[in-house]
Amino acid sequence: MILTCGEINRHQYEEVYLGDGVSVLVESKKFAEIPEVYLDHHPDDRTTIEYLKIHESKIEKLNRSYYDDINGIMAAVEAGLGRAVIPLHMLSEGKSLQVVQGERKLKVPIYLCFLKQPFYSKLHLAAFEEIKKNVSRFLKN
C-alpha cells in the first residue's frame, strides 16, 4: 500500500480517494533574502507549477532546483536556497520554515493505492480501514 498525491492510472492497482491534503509555499525564517528559486523533487514534479498556476503568479522564467525527497527539499528551504510548496502537515514547531506571507493553499488529492487482488487478507482489510479512519488527522485545511 502507498499513499500518493496522484492517481497511478494503471489497471493492476486499486486507487481509493481519501480526501484532500493541503500544501503551502514556505521559506526559511532565518534569511532575509531568499533567491527566486523553487525547490522540487525532480523535473517532472508539477507541484510548484500547479501552485503558481492556481494562484495566478506571473513568473516569466521559473528557476527550479531538485532535491529528490521531501526531507532534502525542507533542508534546502531551511538553508535559504529557495522556496518550496510542501504539505502543510509537514510543518512543525522545530523547523525554521514559515508560510510565505499572503500566500494561499493548494488542495492536493490523496489516494491510497494497492495491487488489485481477488482476495484481501484480514490484515490488509484492517490496515485499509485504519488508514481511512485516521487519515483526516493529516489532511489539514
- Say how far apart CA 104 and CA 119 lie, in whole Å: 43
Distance CA 133, CA 127 (A): 10
pLDDT in tens, 102-125: 778 888 899 999 999 999 999 999
- Quote the cell numbers at residue 59: 513568473
Quote the percentage of the chain above a pLDDT of 90: 41
The pLDDT score that the predictor gives to residue 123 is 95
pLDDT > 70 fraction of the chain, expressed in percent and rounded: 94
Could you tell me the residue ranges of all domains in the chain? 2-138
* Distance of alpha carbon 125 from alpha carbon 74, whole angstroms: 34
Class of the CATH-defined domain 2-138? alpha beta
Phi and psi (nearest 5°) for 90? Answer: -80, -20
